[in-house]
Amino acid sequence: MGVIGAPVGYLDDFAAIGKGATKEVGILLVHGFTSSPSSMRPWAEFMHQQGYTVRVPCLPGHGTKPEDLNNVTWQEWTRKVESELRELQKSCSKVFVFGFSMGGGITLYTTQNHQEIITGIVLVNPMIHIPFVTPTVAKIYSRFKKMRSAPGNDIKRKNIADYSYDVNPLVGVYELTKMLEVTRENLGRISIPTLLFHSTDDHVLPVSNTEIILKGISSKDKERVELTNSYHVATLDHDMETIFEKSLTFVKERS
């Protein structure tokens, strides 16, 4: 399906100012590789309904056409997230970062470099490596082929779309592997509260991603929640309410 047919605005940056007692608590939500803000929008809207200030950026190269993802660097993704973090800081005394898939990897990278201003992180099927695909391997592949078929829309619920690209741009994959390599090397820097959701039936990422992250971070306050009725895009799947409610409790207890 790709990005065709997405609701108006669901492929764009999204931001909403909170209200009441929780207005000054910000939530930054980061989508995955080839995905778009649409995969995080319901979660963001749920948190906003609770009074939180939310921001969901569209990462460079996403939400348009797959070819665009072959023309960006991984630093453009992380700079975009850092910019959104600074925006939240302007009006929020506490900030949490929620990341899905590659967005989980970017959340970890951002936390390593800005831990002093992040209160806690929530990860959903986060990515920290692609088995057997190193930056060197990815670079070689990208020289011979620019696109490769992708599983896409890995959602157990029927008739639900995440409006992601239906191919993997291979230069983008090369950039992704470089970002993940740097992030994995520095996992031990992370010591803030971490909540991680893992789908037991994920057709995109192996469980090794979750295991590497939980073992690698230094956080004492960390929890893993198994999702038994969702595939990879769990933020839109049957367990989405579990993710929403538990992440809400996580934020409430730490803010």
Q: Which of 243, 202, 251, 205 shows the shortest CA–CA distance to 224?
A: 243
Domain residue extents for the chain: 14-250
- So which residues are the catalytic ones? 101, 202, 232
Phi, psi of 141 (to 5 degrees): -60, -40
Burial of 68 (0-12, 13-18, 19+ CB in 10 A): middle
Superfamily of segment(s) 14-250: Alpha/Beta hydrolase fold, catalytic domain (3.40.50.1820)
pLDDT in tens, 203-215: 999 999 999 999 9
Check pLDDT > 90 for residue 250: yes
Q: Which of 5, 9, 57, 63 is nearest to 34 (CA)?
A: 63
Q: Specify the pairing of strand 53-56 against strand 167-169.
A: unpaired
What CA–CA distance (Å, rounded) separates 29 from 194?
14
Predicted TM-score (pTM) of the model is 0.96
pLDDT bin (cut points 50, 70, 90) of residue 151 is low
Decide if pLDDT at 188 tops 80: yes
